[in-house]
Amino acid sequence: MIDEKLTGVFAEVVRRNPGEPEFHQAVREVLESLGPVLAKNPDLAEYKVIERLCEPERQIIFRVPWQDDSGEIHINRAFRVEFNSALGPYKGGLRFHPSVNLGTIKFLGFEQTFKNALTGMPLGGAKGGADFDPKGRSENEIMRFCQSLMTELYRHLGEYTDVPAGDIGVGTREIGYLFGQYKRITNRYESGVLTGKGVEWSGALVRTEATGYGTVYFVREMLAARGETLDGKVCVVSGAGNVAVHAVEKLVELGAKVVACSDSTGFVVDEKGIDIELLKTVKLHERGRLCDYAERRPDAVYRDRGSVWEVPCDVALPCATQNELTGRDAATLLRNGCIAVAEGANMPTTPEAARMFQEAGIAFGPGKAANAGGVATSALEMQQNASRDSWSFEYTEARLAEIMARIHETCFMTAEEYGAPGNYVVGANIASFLKVSRAMVALGLV
Ligand code: NDP
């Protein structure tokens, strides 16, 4: 429930941003936690901090014309929503997916502002992307699209201004083409302008793995707080992209058994435990489908109907996309004895499902805390770029693990302080809100 002092703020967000249900959902989830904060900090209401936080500082929408291999011209629409720069330069990924619209990018930018604050790094919040579908496009088409997009976007970027990274549909390959075009237009090798770069050309080790690994580290902390470990736990992960595959990898490394994962066309159940090398080959290198995985693994079963959440598990990690885990899925997971859920994706759990997990008292890690390892490692990449240094895998991963433990601790302690012990949603929302809002007050009315 939204505190009565904030119902007017939320009504205004809905009125000013019509037809953007995901943005409304993300704002509502944060506002629902903030009642007790306003009671303790009445000056924040006076400074209209919440109203300012709900309005992006800048929204950029532009046309991206490009030509396919047969010479046909296509027009896409791209966005960059620079949400909040109170704590540092705008920072957040770019998403290429046909479903992308302004509301999607706003919800992601809003979430990103709080997530980045939780990392403790000097990062503002932003998000961007385009309604471009990379599926089935050739290398040259992807390159031409990235070059056309950057031809407009470059003027809004800079290592002290706005620093994009990857997200759905944007990995190291796309970041490479985007960086190449930025360099060409500006005549500057400005490494810190993008993160998620290839390790051969000023990228950082562990950035690729960081979001998935970090999510698993967060689960490890949540379980430890309850006297449990990952050893022997049966896990289900949704998605089979960057976040999901690296979550599977780290779960297996820490002694868990992953029995299922999914992609946009179906899911695979592998009772013997997902073969991580085969999964990487099929999904990351060949850019294939999970049915190809099942064909090469005699005991695995591929299903194109039903939900991956029907597979019984102790730990569930939604790592695909927003609102993919519904109230019905939550009921199934709880019935099957699931004890922990952590959001590797952004807002993958519907409000109803999130409420059910919290009411059931299982460990539930919201995305802005659980998947913050990606952006935190981006900040480590920026540090290495600024100092012309490059750190080892082991050192960087140890930093990531430390950061995830600190984020867990912050959420845990804040939830206790505000009378909601064990509720990481409340802890993450309040801790990050206080961090951003104090900076906003200190910087004056800007
Ligand atoms: P990828 O594009 O690498 O992978 C996305 C995966 O999710 C793919 O397996 C894709 O299926 C599947 N998927 C996408 N859309 C849908 C859909 N509508 N229904 C079912 N499955 C779908 O993206 P990432 O792994 O980078 O991102 C996944 C999530 O993690 C997103 O919510 C993103 O915002 C979040 N995130 C990512 C970070 C990062 O560092 N990359 C950082 C923090 C959060 P298919 O293989 O068939 O395309």
The domain segmentation of the chain, as residue ranges, is 7-189, 210-361
Q: Ligand 1, atom 27: nearest CA belongs to which residue?
A: 168
CA of 8 to the centre of ligand 1 (A): 34
Same fold, 7-189 and 210-361: yes
Which residues, 6+ apart, have CB-to-CB distance to 283 below 8 Å? Answer: 240, 241, 245, 263, 290, 293
Q: If you average pLDDT over every residue of the chain, what do you get?
A: 97
Task: Indicate if 435 belongs to the active site.
Answer: no
Which among 105, 108, 167, 350 is the best mutation to test ligand 1's pocket, defined by most ligand atoms within 8 Å of the CB? 167
User: What digits encode the pLDDT tens for the residues 326-336?
Assistant: 999 999 999 99
Q: Ligand 1, atom 9: nearest CA belongs to which residue?
A: 240
Mean pLDDT over 426-443 rounds to: 97
Q: Ligand 1, atom 46: nearest CA belongs to which residue?
A: 263
Token representation of residue 280: 């990487």
CA of 379 to the centre of ligand 1 (A): 21
Which among 242, 261, 293, 305 is the best mutation to test ligand 1's pocket, defined by most ligand atoms within 8 Å of the CB? 242
Mean pLDDT over 173-181 rounds to: 98
Which residues sit with their C-beta closer than 6 Å to ligand 1? 166-169, 211, 239-244, 263-265, 319-321, 324, 344-346, 371, 374
Strand order in the sheet with 125-130: 58-67, 73-84, 125-130, 90-96, 162-165
Q: Ligand 1, atom 22: nearest CA belongs to which residue?
A: 264
Question: Which pLDDT does position 45 carry in this prediction?
Answer: 87
Question: Which pLDDT does position 57 carry in this prediction?
Answer: 98
What topology does CATH give the domain 7-189? Rossmann fold (3.40.50)
Catalytic one among 91, 106, 115, 127? 127
CA of 377 to the centre of ligand 1 (A): 18
Mean pLDDT over 109-136 rounds to: 98
Mean pLDDT over 15-29 rounds to: 98
User: What digits encode the pLDDT tens for the residues 230-275?
Assistant: 999 999 999 999 999 999 999 999 999 999 999 999 999 999 999 9
What topology does CATH give the domain 210-361? Rossmann fold (3.40.50)
CA of 236 to the centre of ligand 1 (A): 15
Whole-model pTM: value is: 0.97
* Residue 360's pLDDT band (cuts 50, 70, 90): very high
Q: How far apart are CA 98 and CA 75, in angstroms?
A: 12
CA of 239 to the centre of ligand 1 (A): 6
Q: Ligand 1, atom 3: nearest CA belongs to which residue?
A: 241
